[in-house]
Amino acid sequence: MADAGGGAPYYLPTGNEVALFEQCHARGLAVMLKGPTGCGKTRFVEYMAWRLGRPLVTVSCHDDLGTADLVGRYLIGAAGTEWHDGPLTRAVRAGALCYLDEVVEARQDTVVILHALTDHRRALFIEKTGETVTAPPGFQLVVSYNPGYQRMLKDMKPSTRQRFVALDFDFPAPERECEIVEHEGGVARDVAHTLVTLGRRLRGLRDRGLAEVPSTRVLVAAAQLVVSGIALADACHAAIVGPLTDDPELAGAMRDLVAASIG
């Protein structure tokens, strides 16, 4: 469980998301963050946990994530069979923020156990022990997903979606993104500007079959390579082009944009 103490995680607001989240927390409303990969959803949750002074429990969801992985299970120990809480149960007991990253990747039967935590009951029912854990006021459930990518594969049921307040995220405006890349990557403003301009040009290749466009995260990774002494073009190829596609034609088009942007 991450401690909410320490310095503030770096986060630049892009709208009224901070105020909306604070009001949701005050009223015990569950929150759903929607937006592309690497646009700042996770950093936002880390920042809000710090701002609200709450511990944070983060779970990265995947296809094999079962109910027991979230709620808990019986395990054999030195004293015999003992119950061990899962991360969701620990978060509820502690009154923490529980962040389920890419929630639609989890099995649907797993998502159903969240329902009682997202309405007036604010409770977690542990079927194997018969215990009902009531969430204290500080507990908040937060989930995220990438609708642009995941809609093609799987989606959250409407009955589940309506249990959340939705906050829409996207890549920051150019000046904001430059400031983020400069701060997080440690590069000069002109390098940050070059990387952001390149990123925005590459995002235009979505119509040519690029499944995932360059995120702010990969721009920061490229910036960090530059700071370490890697040439800018090489950093872009390694941190941006390489991770996004294996298609020779798309990779060639991306390398051409790198060359044109760097000059």
pLDDT in tens, 94-118: 999 999 999 988 888 888 999 999 9
Looking only at the bridges linking them, the beta strands covering 72-77 and 80-85 are antiparallel
Helices 189-203, 216-227: axis angle to 10 degrees equals 140
Burial 164-182, CB ≥16 within 10 A → b, else e: beebebebbeeebbbbbbb
Among 5-9, 37-41, 135-139, 163-167, where is mean pLDDT lowest?
5-9
In the predicted model, what is the mean pLDDT of the chain?
A: 93
> Residue 43 forms beta bridges with which residues?
none
Burial class, 246, CB count within 10 angstroms (exposed 0-12 / middle 13-18 / buried 19+): exposed
User: What is the Cα–Cα distance from 59 to 225, expressed in whole angstroms?
Assistant: 28
Residue 151 has pLDDT above 50, yes or no: no
In this prediction, residue 124 carries a pLDDT of 97
List Cβ neighbours of 246 (8 Å cut-off, separation of 6 or more). Answer: none
User: In which region does residue 244 sit, left (phi positive, over 0), alpha (psi from -120 to 50) or beta (all else)?
Assistant: alpha
